[in-house]
C-alpha cells in the first residue's frame, strides 16, 4: 500500500490533515466538519476562488483553488482596448513602437522576436534588444560550428574540430618525415596547393582549388 500522505501525493487542502488508509487516504478537517480551501500567501490568507495580480510581476495572475495556488502569465486579448501593453507588447500597433531589423529591410511589431548574427533579438516599444543565443552543453570530445550555424555540434573528425586546445607535446610527422609542433602550418612538399596543419597529433590537410586552377 502506498502512503500518499508521507509521499505528499495526496490532494488534501492546506487546512486539512491527510490520514493514510488501506488502499487510499482521507482528508480530515481539524477545525470542523468542512475545510475552507483557503491558501496561505505571504503571511496572509487568500480565499478559495480568489484571483489576484502579483505585486512584483503585474503580468502574472494567481488564483487560490482548493488550498493550492496556481499562477500563470496574463492572457493577451489584443481586441480589448484596455489591454496592458507592457504585458502584451504584441498588441501595440503604434508605428512608434515598431522596429527595423539590423539590415533596415524588415519591420517588426513590438513583442516580435528574431535571430540576427547568432543573437536573439526582440522589439519592445520601438527599442531593439539583443542577447547571445543559448547553445546546448555538449559532452563530446570534438565540436565545430558549421558554416551558417551559430551553435557548435559534435564531430568525430578532429580535423573538423575548432575546440582543440593545442598541446605542444603532441607533434605530427609530415609526409617528409619531419616532426611538426601541434598548431603549426606548412605546405606539403611537392604539392604547393596543399596546406597542412598539425592538430594535436593529427595531420589535417586541405587543397586550395583556386591554386590548382591557376597552376
Sorted by sequence, the CB contacts under 8 Å of residue 14 that are 6+ apart come out as 37, 38, 39, 40, 67, 68
Flag whether the pTM goes above 0.95: no
Instruction: Give the whole-number percent of the chain exceeding pLDDT 70.
Output: 91
pLDDT band at 188 (very low <50, low <70, confident <90, very high): very high
pLDDT given for residue 195 in this prediction: 95
pLDDT band at 96 (very low <50, low <70, confident <90, very high): confident
Sorted by sequence, the CB contacts under 8 Å of residue 90 that are 6+ apart come out as 76, 78, 109, 110, 111, 112
| Residue 42 placed within a domain | no
- Domain membership of residue 23 as a residue range: 1-35
| Residue 146 placed within a domain | no
| Residue 175 placed within a domain | yes
Task: Compare 95 and 173 and report the one with higher pLDDT.
Answer: 173
- CATH number of the structural domain spanning residue 205: 2.10.70
Count the residues in the chain. Answer: 215
| Residue 114 placed within a domain | yes
pLDDT given for residue 208 in this prediction: 92
Mean per-residue pLDDT of the chain: 84
In 3D space, the residue among 115, 106, 107, 75 whose CA is nearest the CA of residue 91 turns out to be: 75
pLDDT given for residue 31 in this prediction: 59
In 3D space, the residue among 63, 70, 71, 29 whose CA is nearest the CA of residue 46 turns out to be: 63
CB 90 within 8 A of CB 97: no
pLDDT mean over 11-31: 69
Kind and range of the H or E run holding 211: helix 209-214
| Residue 195 placed within a domain | yes
Locate 34 and state its grid cell. Answer: 468542512
Q: How far apart are CA 155 and CA 137, in angstroms?
A: 14
pLDDT given for residue 30 in this prediction: 62
Locate 137 and state its grid cell. Answer: 552543453
CB 110 within 8 A of CB 90: yes
pLDDT given for residue 32 in this prediction: 56
Q: How far apart are CA 51 and CA 33, in angstroms?
A: 26
| Residue 201 placed within a domain | yes
pLDDT band at 55 (very low <50, low <70, confident <90, very high): confident
- CATH number of the structural domain spanning residue 12: 2.10.25
Residue 29 has pLDDT above 70, yes or no: no
Name the DSSP class of 91: G
DSSP per position, 48-87: TT-EEE-SS-TTEEEEEETTEEEEEEPPP-TT-TT--TTT
pLDDT band at 9 (very low <50, low <70, confident <90, very high): confident
Number of domain units in the chain: 3
Q: How far is CA 196 from CA 1, 53, 176, 186, 205, in A?
A: 69, 64, 12, 5, 4
| Residue 203 placed within a domain | yes
| Residue 77 placed within a domain | no
pLDDT mean over 177-188: 92
Amino acid at each position: 500500500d502506498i502512503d500518499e500522505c508521507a509521499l505528499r501525493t495526496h490532494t488534501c487542502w492546506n487546512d486539512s490533515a491527510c490520514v493514510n488508509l488501506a488502499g487510499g487516504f482521507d482528508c480530515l478537517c481539524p477545525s470542523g466538519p468542512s475545510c475552507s480551501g483557503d491558501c496561505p500567501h505571504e503571511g496572509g490568507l487568500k480565499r478559495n476562488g480568489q484571483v489576484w495580480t502579483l505585486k512584483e510581476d503585474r503580468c502574472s495572475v494567481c488564483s487560490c483553488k482548493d488550498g493550492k495556488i496556481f499562477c500563470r502569465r496574463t492572457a493577451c486579448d489584443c481586441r480589448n482596448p484596455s489591454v496592458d501593453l507592457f504585458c502584451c507588447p504584441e498588441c501595440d500597433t503604434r508605428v512608434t513602437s515598431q522596429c527595423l531589423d539590423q539590415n533596415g529591410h524588415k519591420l517588426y511589431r513590438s513583442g516580435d522576436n528574431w535571430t540576427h548574427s547568432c543573437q536573439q533579438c526582440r522589439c519592445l516599444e520601438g527599442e531593439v534588444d539583443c542577447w547571445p543565443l543559448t547553445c546546448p552543453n555538449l559532452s563530446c570530445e570534438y565540436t565545430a560550428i558549421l558554416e551558417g550555424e551559430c551553435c557548435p555540434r559534435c564531430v568525430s573528425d578532429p580535423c573538423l574540430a575548432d575546440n582543440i586546445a593545442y598541446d605542444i607535446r603532441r607533434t605530427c610527422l609530415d609526409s617528409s618525415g619531419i616532426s611538426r609542433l601541434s598548431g603549426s602550418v606548412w605546405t606539403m612538399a611537392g604539392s604547393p596547393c596543399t596546406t597542412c596543419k598539425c592538430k594535436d597529433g593529427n595531420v589535417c590537410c586541405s587543397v586550395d582549388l583556386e591554386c590548382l586552377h591557376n597552376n
